[in-house]
Chain A
Amino acid sequence: MMSTTIVVFLKEILDNLRDRRTLASALLMGPIFGPVLFAFVINLSIERSLSDVERTMELPVIGQQHAPNLVRYLESRNIDIIDGPADAATAIDAVKTGANDVILIIPENFGEQLQDTVPAKLELVSDQANTDAERDARRARGALHAYSQELAAVRLSARGVNPLVLRPLNIDEVDVSTPSGRSAMLLGMMSYFFIFAALMGGMYLAIDTTAGERERGSLEPLLCLPVTRDQLILGKIGATCLFMMLSLSLSLVSFFIALKFMPLEQLGMTPNFSPGVMLAALLLFVPFILLGAAVMTLVASFTKSYREAQTWLSVVLVAPTLPILIVSILTLRPRLEFMFVPSLSQHLLLVDMVKNEPVNSLHVSISVVSTLIFGALLTWICARLYRREGLLG
């Protein structure tokens, strides 16, 4: 029994190592496509968060007439100045109740103080406990600081001093406080790429061993041999698993390398991609490989031709995204019942590992065992279907 299965397994490996299409999808598509797309999305995210600065915000100002230059300066920074409340007391109430996020009060003597070169007083009313409002407040504060710096620079230049002495540091801050879900989504994308890479690695084998072999006319002679069909299908699924494993490992390695070159810190992400996490991820996804191989073989065995199998298998490629997508959109935390869902459980556990959060060992066991059981069940169904007469079409 074993030796026949091994003969089939080794032949499928040799055969597919010589097939450019299989090799390309296993060694190139999964491992390269993932990191490239990931890098693209990361860069897009960074650009987005940088461009947030340019967004126009409204700033109510009391006493605009006292500082026309400041008002002009703020407007040049894309801050629309609107009329503020009547006085300081109402301004504080407005911020307290949340009617306004931030209000600037310019006292009457602002101009005079500037002229006298004493620190000119400005009041910025904001609620620092309100994180949403804090974003605009910080921007207003930043703009006022910048104005203050500029005035200082002008004063120093007038006295023949290089204004750069006042700027020993040059700090470039990027605000990503709003898109907090973004990093979760990016991580979700990453676990899908691993699933995608694994499936791509075995896709052509799954087709070749079923629809392909039938279309080529090599299935019937094979079935005439003194071997059982179980031995044949197990050898074939085994070879499919090996290629999936190869593709998955390569894609983990390529991510590991690619992430070193991605400015994730700029997005406020400090993911843990140590080799240890990579190895754990590999082990976590191994049960999924058997399941994926069985599902693809099963689907391909129902199709009549290579092309039809390709069409259906591209649906299979997308299917594991659905649970990941739903969980990412709803930003659900790992829960015991999620661990029974293949692809979802791997995703959630991987995200936890990458975020450096403690991983629940019960969750890991459930994920591994349930995915393995699904895989074994589907392999068994594959073998049953391989025994039917209609296999030859």
Chain B
Amino acid sequence: MIRVDDIHKSFGAVRAVRGVSFNAPDGKVTGLLGPNGAGKSTTLRILYTVLKPDAGTASVDGADVVKDDLKARQRIGALPHGSGLYPHLTARENIAYFARLCGLDKAEIDDRVAEIVRLLEIEDFADRRTKGFSQGQRTKVSLARALVHDPQNVILDEPSNGLDVMATRSLRNLILKLKDAGRCVLFSSHVMQEVAALCDDICIIANGQVAIDDSVDGIRSRTGCDDLEEAFVRAIHLVRPE
């Protein structure tokens, strides 16, 4: 369960996030949708605690991301935008390193790594060094790394970037599996169709503000557009630039 309450964040003169609020409940997939530079990544970075909000609060399973950041991170599995791997380590070693840092028991680690490797269909290249991996392979390993400790809350920043059709499909299946297991999944995207196919709730962000936060049907009816792309475009015009 992730709660975001009126967070603000500026970088110098650039006001990246200007009062964003939304909830991402357990057992649901929440999509953060918006054009490039809308403030999606900044919002997610605040949630996985690498940035601190200038104002407002956010919490993960009740743990405040500023005051209780270590506890919040324990409840999160995050895939930051453009995640990189350690090129001299194999895929399996990359995943196991994160498992160890998450404090998993020695006995647990091998089992968990094997399980996530199977789940994400990494077996074929699991024991190769990650140098020279394709974007799809890299994303899968990064994802496995983020999920290896079986977190209750999963935050994915544009996970489908650079993935081919097959990989996108298995990502979608994975997200649905997590949802069925009662996890809270929050992911960002700038592709409306992708979000619509997966999400229970969609939070559309533009210019650092929430334009609409509703279910897919809710967005259709509120914008008066049946076509989702049209609805998206209309929604982001609800927010006036500064």
Contact = CB atoms under 8 A, between A and B. Distances in A.
A138 interface: no
Given A224-B49, A225-B101, A226-B70, A15 B86 contact: yes
A392 B98 CA distance: 19
> Most chain-A Cβ atoms within 10 A of its Cβ — which of B48, B82, B83, B142?
B83
Interface in B39-62: 45, 48-52
Interface string A203-230: 0000000000000111011111111100
B50 A225 contact: no
> Most chain-B Cβ atoms within 10 A of its Cβ — which of A8, A15, A19?
A15
A228 B70 contact: yes
A122 interface: no
A352 B91 CA distance: 52
Contact of B85 (A14, A218, A223): A218
B73 A218 contact: no
Contacts of B100: 7
Given A19-B88, A389-B51, A392-B50, A225 B83 contact: no
A44 B85 CA distance: 49
Interface string B83-107: 1111111000100011011110000
Contacts of B49: 223-224
A11 interface: yes
> Most chain-B Cβ atoms within 10 A of its Cβ — which of A224, A389, A392?
A224
B212 to A, nearest CB: 28
Contact of B83 (A16, A220, A226): A220
B101 A227 contact: yes
Given A7-B97, A226-B102, A221 B88 contact: no
Majority secondary structure of chain A interface residues (helix, strand, loop or mixed) = helix
B101 A15 contact: no
B146 interface: yes
Nearest to B93: A14
A18 B88 contact: yes
Interface string B72-86: 011010111011111
Contact of B73 (A7, A18, A19, A224): A224
> Most chain-B Cβ atoms within 10 A of its Cβ — which of A16, A227, A228?
A227
Contact of B98 (A19, A217, A225, A389): A225
Given A7-B97, A15-B89, A224 B103 contact: no
A223 B50 contact: yes
Nearest to A216: B84
Contacts of B84: 216-218, 221
24 contacts: A7-B100, A11-B86, A11-B97, A18-B129, A19-B88, A216-B84, A216-B86, A217-B80, A217-B83, A217-B84, A218-B84, A218-B85, A220-B50, A221-B78, A221-B83, A221-B98, A223-B49, A224-B76, A224-B78, A225-B101, A226-B70, A226-B73, A227-B73, A389-B50
Interface of A: 4, 7-8, 11, 14-16, 18-19, 216-218, 220-228, 389, 392
Given A7-B100, A389-B50, 7 more contacts: A7-B101, A217-B84, A218-B84, A220-B50, A220-B80, A227-B101, A392-B50
